[in-house]
Structure 1
Amino acid sequence: MSLESQEMSVVDHLTELRKRIIYVLIIFLLGLVGGLFCAKPIYDYLIQADLAQGFVLHAFSFWDGIGMYMKIAMAVSLAVSVPFIAYQLWAFISPGLRSEERSAALRYVPYVFVLFLLGMAFAYYIVFPMALSFTISITRSMGLEETYGIAQYFNFMFSLVLPLALLFELPLLVMFLTKLRILNPLRLRKMRRYAYFALVFIAVVITPPDLISDFLVTIPLLVLYEFSVFLSAFVYRKQLAADAALEARYVKQEEKEETGN
């Protein structure tokens, strides 16, 4: 291949990547518009926890209300865009995949949305109430007057919910990389201690500074990693079986050719 054709190939790849990014941005903007229409009912649902805790949210600037709606709209847009981003990623790399890898990877795309929603549900219904109750109890035990801003409330919520929702994509990502033969269960087991350290660090960063919160977030993350190793082993065994069958067919074909000669 000449240098000119190689340069054209790089240009083609960059053009394709730019096209995929533009598609993602369009979907994200459309999701943002749709999220703005959904922001009010979602807001009414989300502040039920505030009413149960007996405090009222306050606005400390003229932009707090608008900022809250934008945060909700961005969360909705992200939920809508995640499977589309996964599809665009598949479309970008699919020309370099074999046909069976291409079809298998495409089947993962719908599960991206499912896992993202499961992660959001786990974070909102389990982790967030726990963290909110803990911080409020500390505030009240210190005899402080509670005056909470709406911006701080939603920043606190989304700093827990969105990272956990994205981390729930870990099993699917590991399966995909195993399918591409980039990862395998042997490699994942060897790097287990480093992965555990990274997951514990993430759990400590995104949760309130208490042992119970860290523990309740760390355990699901470690379970997710082990589940990812299990799924990787499942995919890897199927790959080995397919490779063995292909090699057997190749040997059998060679034997037939030698017999025919």
Structure 2
Amino acid sequence: MDQPYIGEEEQPQEMSFVDHLEELRWHIIRAFASIFVFATIAFLAKNFVFHDIILAPSRTDFFSYRIMCDIGQRIGSEALCIDQMGFTIQSRQMSGQFTMHLLVSAILGLVCAFPYAFWEIWRFVKPGLYPQEQKNSQGAVFFVSILFIMGMLFGYYVVSPISINFLAGYQVDPTIINEFDLSSYISTLTTLCLACAFMFEMPVIVFFLTKAGLITAETMQVYRKHALVVILIVGAIITPPDVVSQLLISMPLMLLYEVSINISRSIRKKDLKRLNDNNTI
């Protein structure tokens, strides 16, 4: 009877298409489960979520407004101090508050679970990459999560309060009273925050596109003016119809664009150096 060779390693069996689908299904299930868990927590914490998070930018004691007022007092400008918001929020539909409660809980569940959900999807994608691609993509989950959180915070503490204050104080005639529906307020707030969160992922996108050889720093420099126009158009689409919101979105995007150029240039230099080192060996 033949004995197996000592030290013989079993070759890993290649997964079938059905096995890949099954594995993907479980990754997706776990990702959605995490979103559901955080959404449930947000749903149960109704008072904290709505009073301290969602409706906070609609009150004059919001953190950003207090910081603006402090800056205004330091520079001798009282115009930055907001004494009143000039609008009220109403719910004009029978199921309006309950519907918004469910929607806000789902959105907060997605935001809070995003790092874990992305990690689950990344766990499925990463084994299919080449070793060099896996090495190049180390820390992808960390950087994607950090940029997402930074974008959310920028949208919530900078873009949203200034936009809400501008739109609330805008009047075509003093006799018109601003009474906003709850759904309109929440839609504006969540759109601005989520738009900033996903826009802040630009450096990561540029990193992978550069690694794939689809773009270079030189190309991005050549089309810098075109990128500015596109960024302004995107800012106009995803923000309320006011110039302030568009500029608040566009300025950090242009900064991220410049950062992305430097990232692409750095990656290109490292790749060329590695190629030269290989050729000299």
With the shorter chain as reference, the TM-score category is: 0.7 to 0.9
Further displaced range: 98-107 or 146-155: 98-107
Aligned to 1:258: none
Answer yes or no: is the 8 Å Cα contact 2:203–2:259 preserved in 1. yes
8 Å CA contact 1:196, 1:222 repeated in 2: yes
Q: Report the number of matched residues.
A: 242
Q: Do the aligned residues in 2 keep the contact of 1:56 with 1:148 (CA within 8 Å)?
A: yes
The 5-angstrom pairing of residues 89-168 of structure 1 reads 89-139=121-171, 141-168=173-200
Deviation at 1:107, TM superposition (A): 0.8
- Give 5+ residue unaligned stretches, structure 2: 1-14, 61-84
Could you tell me whether the CA contact under 8 Å between 2:31 and 2:116 is conserved in 1?
yes
Q: Give the whole-Å Cα distance in 2 for the aligned partners of 1:12 and 1:179.
A: 29
Q: Which residue is equivalent to 2:38?
A: 31
SS in 2 for 1:139: coil
Q: Could you tell me whether the CA contact under 8 Å between 1:116 and 1:166 is conserved in 2?
A: yes
Q: Is contact 1:170-1:225 (8 Å) kept?
A: yes
- The aligned residue for residue 59 of structure 2 is 51
CA distance in 2, matches of 1:120, 1:231: 22
Stretch moving more, 221-230 or 188-197: 188-197
RMSD across aligned positions (CA): 2.6
Q: Which moved more, 1:55-64 or 1:114-123?
A: 55-64
Q: Return the structure number with greater helix share.
A: 1
Q: CA deviation at 1:9?
A: 5.2
1:26 alignment partner AA: A
**2-structure distance, mates of 1:17, 1:91:** 10
Given residue 204 of structure 1, which amino acid in structure 2 is its aligned partner?
Answer: A
CA change 1:49–1:31 in 2 (3 A) is closer
- Per mean C-alpha deviation after superposition, the further-off stretch among 65-74 and 225-234 is 65-74
Q: Deviations over 1:15-46 (max 9, x none)?
A: 44434333322222222222223442121123
Q: 1:164-200: CA deviations, max 9, x gaps?
A: 1111111122223333444432343355444333322
1:62 aligns with 2:69: no
Residues 23-78 of structure 1, C-alpha deviations (whole Å, 9 max, x = no match): 32222222222222344212112323323215432221232222232233223222
TM-score, normalising length from structure 2? Answer: 0.75
Alpha-carbon distance in 1 for matches of 2:23, 2:148: 27
Residue 21 to residue 195, structure 1, CA distance change in 2 (3 Å):
farther
Contact 1:115 1:169 in 2 (8 A): yes
Gaps of 5+ in 1: 1-7, 250-261
Output the amino acid matched with 2:155. Answer: A
For residue 64 of structure 2, what is the aligned residue in structure 1? none
Deviations 1:99-149 (A, max 9, x none): 343144231212222211211121122211221122122237442123222
Q: Does residue 241 of the first structure (1) align with residue 249 of the second (2)?
A: no
- Identity among equivalent positions (%) equals 26
Show the counterpart of 2:29.
22
Contact map agreement 2:87 2:177 (CA 8 A) in 1: no
CA–CA separation in structure 2 for the residues paired with 1:55 and 1:80: 30
Residue 233 of structure 1 aligns with an amino acid whose one-letter code is: R
| Structure 1 residues 243 and 94: CA distance shift in structure 2, 3 A | farther
Q: Is the contact made by 2:86 and 2:169 (CA closer than 8 Å) also made in structure 1?
A: no
| 3-state SS in 2 of match to 1:57 | strand
Deviations 1:210-233 (A, max 9, x none): 333322321211111121121122
Contact 1:128 1:160 in 2 (8 A): yes
